[in-house]
Amino acid sequence: MLHNEGTFLGTRDMELYYQSWHPTSPPRAVVVGVHGHGDHSGGLRNIIKHLVPAGYAWYGFDLRGHGRSPGIRGHIQHWSDFQGDLQAFVSWVKHIEGEKSVYLLGHSLGGLISIEYALRHPEDLSGIISTSPALGYSRLSPLKVMLFRALAYLKPNFTLKSQPDYAKLTRDTEVVEILAADPLRHEQMTLTLWREFLNSRNWVRAHASDLQVPLLMLYGLGDTITPAPFNRQFLNSLIFEEMEHHEYEQTLHRPFDDVNRAEVLAHITAWLDRYNDAT
């Protein structure tokens, strides 16, 4: 497995940190990973360790305000910054990798970002994989959501901080310890990011029927962070027939890190293999 790291130029001329992993032989295709809120490009390590030996190159970058990328932790000025950064990264990866097929794999907040990207730029992608996408969020009451929306205009940089509860992410206690010891993780979000997230979530829900990119969606029925009913609602709104999804009993928010991750990772490679064997 060959590893590389560096920076690329995102939107608003911000230099963002990226990492890539390649198999020792020419890759079959390229997967671009988009991590979740509070995480970073190395956080999807179990997926990377599984896909690269299977012949896939992996590229991931730290979202602005996350990991080794600059910016206020958990903050963006506009949601279009996330979309612009991802578009710049995908274009840069395609320039490096040439004619190879490119797939997006997004988790949680990264899943929402990736689905929106696929809706806006289907020509860039051969498919999209989404794990526990942030299509709904259960932590705050509707009253608090309304309050935070209003406050976002008065104090846009005000930061919401929460105590980490990694036991809600996976049932694997060893992974819980790894996540808790990770110095690059954070548990904070500004009101502006919260407002922009809600706007994007609503837009993606409203445009679900426009999706024209093959989709694989994976999520756990034990997930209390982005609960399954929101994913089902989105899937039921799709018209495009090239859709596959898997629900996992008792699995929590990070299915690729949970005790049944072998099953989850097998579904990912089987889906990628099927699409690549067909081309």
Per-residue pLDDT of 229-269, as tens digits, reads 999 999 999 999 999 999 999 999 999 999 999 999 999 99
Query: In the predicted model, is pLDDT for residue 107 greater than 90?
Result: yes
DSSP SS3 for 7: strand
Query: CATH fold of 2-277, please?
Result: Rossmann fold (3.40.50)
The secondary structure of 183-224 as a DSSP string is TT---EEEHHHHHHHHHHHHHHHHTGGG--S-EEEEEETT-S
Shortest CA distance to 193 belongs to which of 157, 227, 163, 162? 157
What is the average per-residue pLDDT within 75-97? Answer: 96
Q: What is the pLDDT of residue 161?
A: 77
What band does 123 get if pLDDT is binned at 50, 70 and 90?
A: very high
Residue whose pair of structure tokens reads 């982005």 in the numeric block:
226
Q: Where are the domains of the chain?
A: 2-277
Residue whose pair of structure tokens reads 């899937």 in the numeric block:
235
* pTM: predicted TM-score of the whole model, two decimal places: 0.94
What is the average per-residue pLDDT within 207-216? Answer: 97
CB 234 within 8 A of CB 135: yes
The secondary structure of 21-32 as a DSSP string is EE-SS--SEEEE
Tallying the residues shown for the chain, one arrives at 279
Q: What is the pLDDT of residue 194?
A: 87
What is the average per-residue pLDDT within 75-104? Answer: 96
